Amino acid sequence: MSITLPKVRVPYLLLFPGFAFLFTFFILPIVNLAQTSTQTPIPGGDTGQYEQSFAFSNYINAFLDNRDQFARSFVYATLATIFALAIAYPLAYAIAFKSGKFKNILLVLVVAPFFTSFLLRTIAWKQILGEEGFLVPTLRSLHLMGQQTTITSTAVAVVAGMTYNFLPFMTLPLYASLERIDPRTIEASGDLYANGITTFRRVTVPLSLPGVVAGTLLTFIPAAGDYVNASILGSPNTKMIGNVIESRYFKIVDYPTAAALSFTLMAAILILVTLYIRKAGTEELV
Amino acid sequence: MGRGFPKGTRQLVSIDPINARGDLRLTRITKSYGDFNAVDDLTLTIPKGSFFALLGPSGCGKTTTLRMVAGLEEPTVGSIHLGDTDITTTRPYQRPINTVFQNYALFPHLTIFENIAFGLRRRGVKDVKEQVDKVLNLVELPHLAERKPTQLSGGQQQRIALARAIVNRPALLLLDEPLGALDLKLRRQMQIELKWIQREVGLTFVHVTHDQEEAMTMADTIAVMNEGKIEQMGTPADLYDDPETAFVANFLGQSNLIKGKIEGNDGDNLVIDLFGQKISMPKARSHAVDNSLYAGIRPEKFRITRTGSAVRGNTLTGGRIEDVSYIGVSTQYVVAMPWGQELMVFEQNDDGVPPFNKGEEVVISWEPSFTFGLRGDEDVEAGTEVNPEETPE
């Protein structure tokens, strides 16, 4: 007994579970969120009761009230992305080209942090950067840091935490694109009078560009919306837009503002990412 | 453009290796990987301006040799000179040597123009555009300058890889199985083209291949390599007509090797006993060291006649046709001899004589001067194994 399906239907059947999932858990909530974002409190109603009044001014007010947090989010996310790239590129390069038989072990080590919860790892960073950790006393004794200066509750801690937490998302796509480079193109470059540095600049880097683009997006996008690092490692002065959205939703119960901020963040990220991909000009993005 | 010499070189002469010109000399080169010698005490001179082929089966050390000349590997022992300049330890980018890589290794992110211009730009050449255009015309693909390598066919990529190397006018151009990825017809065409281009540009070409026909078509001189050593070196005709070892006799074309004994001299000829039948061959073509030898005859040098008809030269009687394959230009016979050996005979289909039939009794004859003699202790199977990975298509 065999069941033969008309060929045309197979792709749709395969797509169905994904579509159903996205529709239920992405499209519907987005529509709902959009509706919420233009609501205003019901006059005389309780906290958390809102009615639809197409108040697009919610967007303007939400943005104007939280300009600093928006700016901070993008600055921190950019910094974390740059640092992650600076750490991940040599790492991925070494794993792809120099690790020999240790390649698989090193790749497992890159993803090993995922075996522990994101929250737990961030809390651990609080310990590492704290007064009792090894870092601060060491830096102080070397006079690289003032006796009164601390790291926790500063922007440094938040950016460091984000860099650490998103590092695997940068490393893996970079590794994938570096590993795909045909070693003979590297040899060909040397054969054509390019020394090591020139070969790296003219051949290795351009060929790993799809990995750089993918890695920076996978780091930047979640980093821009992150609030865990800022709330655990930061202070009120390092609040990011994610923290504002979180407190609007869960503490102040100001759903319209939270929704408006969420949409603004989404739009801002979309615009930045589009500009970035245009600029990077990688048609063959992974 | 003095870039200086890398650390540890013994170089004292003030010639920058990038400007070195002249014959390529490999002196007692050994390359070891652990206990295994990929190249074993190899000494070789490749004259300037020649088209030289390193021919051998996979694992014979030919590619390792090429990579040492390119600077991609360093010899364990020995030295490499280009003219009077020792280039043994110089880096690849400091050598006036360019390579056409197997599978081409074009830069996928650059246009064809920029691929070809790569070497020129690194050396700071002024008229890049002019030179690239010139070489694109030479390989007859000027219209592809702005394409990316992936948009080209295999044959086009091959020509671009060649153009990218020769545009630099290196002292030495290395070709690593350059035609291996092309189909048979295109390969034949490219062989002729490569040869023409080599004459046109007048560079020294060193060509590595496992394809004996390719080597014979293109090269002035062929070095046959086996197990890290050179078995024999010479012109294609020398190697084919007078192989010195069973490996060369079998690797270049096909050979019939018949065990025999040297009975004595007859002027400039040797008298040989082959299973009771006497033949003669020129003394100069024997490489035997004692009185045992293998008499070698190429299949197309044999003539087949019916028993009883008149024959000239050396004859072997008592043959029986075992198998007949008609392949158009010739008919190939397998002839079983009384001593149990089967001989290959290729007959041109040019005499109107109907082909022999299976089971017919025949006499085999040939010109004595076509015979070559190998040492009696040779492994007659050497060089006959076909590596399936290397069989084209």
More confident residue, A77 or B384: A77
What mean pLDDT is predicted for residues A44-59? Answer: 87
Q: Is the model more confident about B50 or about B20? A: B50
- Lowest-pLDDT range, A280-284, B30-34, B273-277? A280-284
Q: Does A267 map to a domain? A: yes
pLDDT recorded at residue B248: 95
Cα–Cα distance for residue pair B102/A105, rounded to 1 Å: 32
- What's the pLDDT at B5? 44
For residues B113 and B146, what is the distance between their CA atoms, to the nearest angstrom? 6
Predicted local distance difference test score (pLDDT) of residue A216? 95
* Contacts of B159 by beta carbon, 8 Å cutoff, 6+ apart: B139, B140, B141, B190
**Contact predicate A169/A217, CB 8 Å:** no
Statement: residue B200 has pLDDT above 70: yes
- Report the CATH architecture of B17-240: 3-Layer(aba) Sandwich (3.40)
Q: Encoding tokens for residue A50?
A: 């809102």
pLDDT at B3 over 80: no
Domain holding A217, by residue range, is: 58-280
Which pLDDT score, from 0 to 100, does residue A6 have? 64
Counted domains in chain A: 1
Check CB contact under 8 Å for B107 and A188: yes
Please check whether residue B280 is in contact with residue B266, taking contact to mean a CB–CB distance below 8 angstroms.
yes
| CA separation for the pair A55, A46 (Å, rounded) | 19
Taking the C-alpha atoms of residue A59 and residue A68, their distance in angstroms, rounded to an integer, is 15
CB-closest option in B3, B101, B118 to A184: B101
Chain B residue set in contact with A, beta carbons under 8 Å: 3, 18, 70-72, 91-93, 97-99, 101-103, 105-110, 118-119, 122-123, 164, 168
With b meaning 16 or more CB within 10 Å and e meaning fewer, what string describes A215-250?
Answer: bbbbbbbbbbbbbbbbbbbbeeebbbbbbbbbbbbe
Q: How many other CB atoms sit within 10 Å of the CB of residue B267? A: 8
Around B335, how many Cα atoms within 13 Å sit in the side-chain half-sphere?
29
Tokens 């795909």 belong to residue: A180
* CA–CA gap between residue B211 and residue B225 (Å, rounded): 12
* Residues B16/B5, Cβ–Cβ less than 8 Å: no
Contact at CB, A191 and B168, closer than 8 angstroms: no
Listed residue (B51, B48, B45, B101) closest to B72, CA to CA: B101
Percent of chain B residues past pLDDT 70, beyond the cut: 94
8 Å CB contact of B92 and A187:
yes
Superfamily of domain B254-375: Nucleic acid-binding proteins (2.40.50.140)
Question: Which pLDDT score, from 0 to 100, does residue B56 have?
Answer: 94
Cα–Cα distance for residue pair B393/B13, rounded to 1 Å:
49
Q: Which amino acid, residue B42?
A: L
Strand, helix or coil at B33?
A: strand
Q: Enter the tokens of residue A277.
A: 């991909």
Determine the pLDDT at residue B390.
Answer: 45
Report yes or no: A173 and A217 within 8 Å, Cβ to Cβ.
Answer: no
- Kind and range of the H or E run holding B345: strand B342-348
What distance in Å separates residue B106's CA from the closest CA in chain A? 6
Cα-only R_g, chain A = 24
pLDDT at B201: 86
pLDDT in tens, A34-45: 999 999 988 888
Q: CATH 2.40.50.140 in chain B, residues?
A: 254-375
- Per-residue HEC secondary structure of chain A comes to CCCCCCCCHHHHHHHHHHHHHHHHHHHHHHHHHHHHHCEEECCCCCCCCEEECCCCHHHHHHHHHCHHHHHHHHHHHHHHHHHHHHHHHHHHHHHHHHCHHHHHHHHHHHHHHHHCCHHHHHHHHHHHHCCCCCHHHHHHHCCCCCCCCCCCCCHHHHHHHHHHHHHHHHHHHHHHHHHCCCHHHHHHHHHCCCCHHHHHHHHHHHHHHHHHHHHHHHHHHHHHHCCHHHHHHCCHHHCCHHHHHHHHHHCCCCHHHHHHHHHHHHHHHHHHHHHHHHHHCCCCCC
Average pLDDT, rounded, for chain B? 89
Kind and range of the H or E element at B239?
helix B236-241
Residues A73, A240 contacting (CB under 8 angstroms): yes
- Test A191 with B97 for CB contact under 8 angstroms: yes
Chain B residues inside the 8 Å CB shell of A198: 122
- Give the DSSP letter of residue B211: -
- The reported pLDDT for the residue numbered B104 is 93
Strands B292-297 and B256-266: antiparallel
- How many beta-carbon contacts under 8 Å exist across A and B? 65
Q: Where in chain B is the domain with CATH 3.40.50.300?
A: 17-240
pLDDT for the residue numbered B382:
86
A90, part of any domain: yes
Q: Quick one: tokens of A98?
A: 């120099």
pLDDT for position A282: 57
**A281 CB within 8 Å of a chain B CB:** no
Q: Across residues A156-165, what is the average pLDDT? A: 94
| Tens-place pLDDT, residues A114-150 | 899 999 999 999 989 988 888 888 888 888 888 888 8
pLDDT for the residue numbered A1: 52
d(CA B354, CA B345): 15
* Digit-coded pLDDT (tens) for A81-122: 999 999 999 999 999 999 989 999 999 999 998 899 999 999
As for the ipTM of the complex, it is: 0.81
H/E run at residue B156: helix B154-166
Per residue in B318-337, pLDDT (tens digit) is 999 999 998 888 899 999 99
Q: Which residues contact B165 (CB under 8 A, 6 or more apart)?
A: B98, B99, B100, B119, B173
Nearest-angstrom CA–CA distance, B259 and B269 = 18
The domain that contains A120 carries what CATH number?
A: 1.10.3720.10
Domain-located, residue A46 = no
- 8 Å CB contact between B17 and B33: no
A4: pLDDT confidence band, cut at 50, 70 and 90? low
Q: What is the C-alpha separation between B169 and B292, in angstroms, rounded?
A: 51
Residue A227 lies in a domain: yes
- Model pLDDT for residues B247-292, shown as the tens digit of each residue: 999 999 999 999 999 999 988 999 999 999 999 999 999 999 999 9
Nearest neighbour of A207 by CB, restricted to B18, B108, B119: B108
Q: How far is CA B84 from CA B11, B13, B21, B26, B98, in A?
A: 11, 9, 8, 12, 19
Q: Cβ neighbours of residue A133 under 8 Å, at least 6 residues apart?
A: A127
Query: For residue A126, what are its two tokens?
Result: 């609080």
Nearest CA-CA partner of A225 in A105, A74, A80, A39: A74
Chain A residues near residue B92 by CB distance under 8 angstroms: 187, 190-191
